[in-house]
Amino acid sequence: MNELLSKANLLIRKDRPPDKPWECITTFWHNKFLQLTFHTVGCRYSLAGSCTMCNYGAGTGYPPRIMLQELEKICHSEIFLESDMVLLGGSGSFLDDQEIPEELQLNIMQYIAQSHIQEIHIETHYKSVTESKLKKIREIFANKKIYIEMGLETVTEEFQKDILNKLIPLSELGKIIQQIHAYQMYTSLNILLGMPFLSAGQQLADARATIHWAMENKADYIVIFPVNIQPYTLFEWWHEHGFISEVSPWLLFILLFGLSEEELRTVCLAWYGNRSISYSDGKRTIVPYSCSECHPELLAFFNDFSSNFDLEYRKKILWKFSQKSFSCHCYQNILAKIETGGNADMLSAMETAYHATKRWVEHDGAR
Residues that bind Zn ion (CB under 5 A): 290-291, 293-294, 328, 330
CB of 66 to Zn ion, least distance (A): 46
Shortest reach from residue 96's CB to Zn ion, in Å = 41
Cβ–Cβ < 8 Å for 269, 224: yes
CB 337 within 8 A of CB 200: yes
Q: Which is nearer to Zn ion, 280 or 325 (CB)?
A: 325
Least distance CB 327 / Zn ion (angstroms): 8
C-alpha span between 42 and 23 (Å, rounded): 14
Query: How far is Cα 349 from Cα 353, in angstroms, rounded to an integer?
Result: 6
CB of 260 or CB of 332, closer to Zn ion: 332
Sign of CA dihedral 231, 232, 236, 241: positive
Residue 330: CB minimum distance to Zn ion, A: 3
Tell me whether residue 290 or residue 306 sits nearer to Zn ion (CB atom). Answer: 290
Residue nearer to Zn ion on the CB measure, 50 or 290 = 290
Q: How far is the CB of 293 from Zn ion (least distance, A)?
A: 5
Q: Which is nearer to Zn ion, 181 or 329 (CB)?
A: 329
Residues 6+ apart with CB under 8 A from 281: 17
Determine the length of the chain: 367
- At 196, phi and psi to the nearest 5? -55, 150
Largest CA distance in the chain: 59
